[in-house]
Chains A and B, each alone.
Chain A
């Protein structure tokens, strides 16, 4: 068991090293710079709007860039190994196919963790920069409106309330929930791509199919409602088809709860844990199916 785990970790680390040395992360660096720069470009907005913008843009960018990394890196995992014949050298060693598969997937999850972490650091940097800008401009506003306002206790109280509001907006612990949910969605996307790549003959097929499933996953709520008889009138066949669809395809739409967090609405941790649990269970199913598919693949 431990030796099996060591082999999985060795393959995972190798996959991560490959991705890092292929300069995937330099794309993320560019992303970080663009994100920080955008705060400067939109500094004409009101401070509340600026912070909201950075939050929306930051989380959106983490999701988008993460999606691209998850999809591209997972889709080429197996085809590249086959093309370079490295898969033969690995599987000729005392390594089970399932260990190879889990190791490769671990590598992608590590890459996604690293990418999301770096992007989150850049995101936090942009937010703190906005906070500093907001506090600075608030103070300038007070100085311009009322000279010597510091001598008035009411004005000082008002100023402190304004500053606290800015800090609360920026240091919102719910943003951690948002990033965790984005990460879970990325790992699920990667799991889908892994399953498809176990039987696909090209990376393009994996990318296109995963993308289609991802899109359908966002519309799945509608399918489920129709299946459960809460939507428009449907025939038995339509209802059956939509039922199968809603069981097979993960519900990506549930993760749009991130938008609620960004809009400033409270999302309880229990709900976030439910979604993370859903992603975990779905991932186990995806990995099990991938293992079955890959076990009998001719190499």
Chain B
């Protein structure tokens, strides 16, 4: 595995194997007034395949946002290199295939939702009827029908994140970078964004996102990398990393009585399982699941409106 990571010649053919590939990617920020250098990212080797949903995890200042900036060509690497579909990240060809949602975006507060998407569409060379059609599709996709004619300064945090996602998707990119897409969004909005990521995955998009909400990452990511102090501390598929190989869980749609539990226990003992290792528990909902069930059961999710007197 290590030997593979150290390959120094990157594949730049028309259909590269990786949507994102970095080799020894390093970023140092000099603090000239203190005569010090901050190592924001230390020799990152990363390979993300097309169609994957990849989570970047780690505490603040661990190098997640720096990684995204380097992958977008917004920062210049001090060492190493990165490739997007085999292309340099700062090339127009690479950017044409990438969409980006920054952390806590504000956008242009004076533009309406439609105007915002029109502006970003023009930057990507999408114009005319094609652009208008794309705006309709995206407004539907992110559920912003009520924000089309409103200036962004009147948007809630969740609405801003959704218009941010729409602008990132305006040119139908193959790869999406989402920096804390659910930061500051309420649980319902957050779960909608999570569902959107899953829809994007079904559409064949590659999604790379950073988040502090571990449970959400677990629900959508195929693989994750955990960062600590500018270094990748762990990387792998959630399936492989989270499974406890030494135990088996059986889920039943009904509660077992004490007598039924005893009969199941005897059967398992007969099958060779040690009696002391068998435990019967009732599964718990997460607080988020309880919250979402309650909100979604509410008769009307929209805020109440009253006629003007």
Contact = CB atoms under 8 A, between A and B. Distances in A.
A93 B103 CA distance: 16
Interface in A231-267: none
Given A22-B110, A94-B92, A89 B105 contact: yes
B107 A86 contact: yes
B265 interface: no
B76 A298 contact: yes
A83 B105 CA distance: 10
Interface in A77-102: 83-86, 88-96
B120 interface: yes
Contact of A93 (B69, B104, B120): B120
B111 A17 contact: yes
Contact of B96 (A6, A18, A88, A94): A94
Contacts of A17: 110-111
Most buried by B among A7, A21, A85, A89: A89
Nearest to B164: A89
Interface in B29-73: 29, 69, 72-73
A279 to B, nearest CB: 30
Contact of B125 (A3, A84, A296, A299): A3
A296 B77 CA distance: 11
A204 to B, nearest CB: 19
Contacts of B106: 83-86
A11 interface: yes
Contacts of A89: 100-102, 105, 107, 120, 164, 167-168
Contact of A18 (B101, B110, B123): B110
Interface in B122-141: 122-125, 127
A61 interface: no
A14 interface: yes
A222 interface: no
Range class of the B interface residue count:
35 or more
Contacts of B108: 14, 18, 84, 86
B110 A94 contact: no
B74 A92 contact: yes
B60 to A, nearest CB: 16
Given A17-B110, A17-B111, A92-B98, A10 B123 contact: yes
Contacts of A7: 122-123, 125
A3 B72 CA distance: 21
A174 B103 CA distance: 54
Contacts of B93: 94
A235 B163 CA distance: 63
Nearest to B110: A21
Nearest to A21: B110
A202 B76 CA distance: 22
Contacts of B122: 6-7, 10
Interface string B189-231: 0000000000000000000000000000000000000000000
Given A7-B123, A10-B119, A92 B107 contact: no
Contacts of A21: 110
A299 B96 CA distance: 20
Nearest to B92: A94
A155 to B, nearest CB: 61
Nearest to B72: A92
Contacts of B76: 296, 298
Contacts of A94: 92-93, 95-96, 123-125, 171
Given A7-B122, A85-B103, A92 B111 contact: no
Interface string A17-43: 110011000000000000000000000
Interface in A1-18: 3, 6-7, 10-11, 14, 17-18
**Centre residue among B75, B98, B102 by max chain A CB count within 10 A:** B102
Given A7-B123, A84-B109, A96-B92, 19 more contacts: A6-B127, A14-B108, A14-B111, A14-B119, A17-B110, A17-B111, A22-B110, A84-B105, A84-B108, A85-B105, A86-B106, A86-B108, A90-B123, A93-B120, A94-B93, A94-B96, A94-B124, A95-B95, A298-B76
**Shortest beta-carbon contacts, A-B, top 6:** A92-B100, A21-B110, A84-B106, A10-B122, A94-B92, A94-B95
14 contacts: A7-B125, A18-B108, A84-B105, A86-B105, A88-B102, A89-B167, A89-B168, A92-B99, A93-B120, A93-B123, A94-B92, A94-B124, A94-B171, A299-B69
Interface of B: 29, 69, 72-76, 92-93, 95-96, 98-111, 119-120, 122-125, 127, 164, 167-168, 171, 177
